[in-house]
């Protein structure tokens, strides 16, 4: 369910592989001099225990709304950024695959770095998505975060 809000945001929840380059190409235009990208990728271990794969599930309709709210807060916090994408994947993910992608374009790099860092921190604390980690000898729900104030 891709969405563009006044062409400034690109928000997507997908069950397919995330194509970072296509998302950057979609956002980038001549006004921006800096692009900062955060890719969250599936690690091969948690505290030394070997991970086989992860499964993500979401409260999908609310997750999209929450991603849009985060995009709006990020622009309010960093008004000189140009454009912003927040993309999250659901379903089974293999090691080194991208689960979440944040892209910020901006005339200047400092804003791009800070806005990208801000957005991923917010995504991790409030978008209603949960992951289960599968090991050789079992599985666990990964411990989560609570949005500030709730």
Residues that bind its own copies (CB under 8 A): 20-21, 24, 28-45, 95-96, 107, 109-110, 112-113, 116-117, 120
Applying CB under 8 A, which part among 4-12, 21-29, 70-78, 118-126 lies near another protein?
118-126
43 exposure class (CB count in 10 Å sphere: 0-12, 13-18, 19+): exposed
Least spacing, CB of residue 55 vs another protein, in Å: 11
Six-digit token string for 52 = 């086989």
Q: Is 150 in the site for another protein (CB under 8 A)?
A: yes
Phi, psi of 113 (to 5 degrees): -60, -50
Q: Which is nearer to another protein, 27 or 86 (CB)?
A: 86
Least Cβ distance, residue 69 to another protein (angstroms): 8
The reply to whether 96 sits near another protein by the rule CB under 8 A is no
Q: Which of 63, 76, 79, 82 is nearest to 7 (CA)?
A: 82
136 with 50: CB under 8 angstroms?
yes
- 60 contacts 140 by C-beta, under 8 angstroms: no
From the list another protein, its own copies, none, pick the one residue 62 interacts with, judged by a Cβ distance below 5 to 8 Å according to partner type: another protein
Q: Measure the CA–CA gap between 89 and 23, rounded to whole angstroms.
A: 14
Contacting residues toward another protein, per CB under 8 A: 40, 56-59, 61-63, 65-66, 88, 99-100, 120, 123-131, 141-147, 149-150
């Amino acid at each position: 369910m891709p969405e563009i809000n006044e062409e400034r945001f690109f928000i997507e929840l997908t069950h397919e592989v995330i194509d970072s380059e296509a998302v950057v190409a979609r956002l980038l235009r001549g006004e921006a001099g800096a692009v900062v990208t955060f890719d969250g990728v599936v690690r091969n271990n948690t505290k030394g225990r070997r991970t086989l794969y992860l499964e993500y599930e979401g409260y999908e309709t609310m997750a999209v709304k929450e991603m849009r709210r985060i995009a709006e807060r990020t622009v309010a916090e960093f008004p000189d950024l140009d454009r912003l994408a927040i993309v999250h994947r659901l379903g089974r993910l293999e090691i080194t695959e991208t689960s979440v992608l944040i892209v910020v374009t901006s005339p200047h790099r400092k804003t791009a770095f800070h806005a990208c860092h801000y957005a991923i921190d917010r995504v991790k604390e409030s978008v209603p998505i949960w992951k289960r980690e599968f090991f050789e000898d079992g599985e666990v729900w990964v411990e989560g975060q609570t949005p500030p104030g709730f």
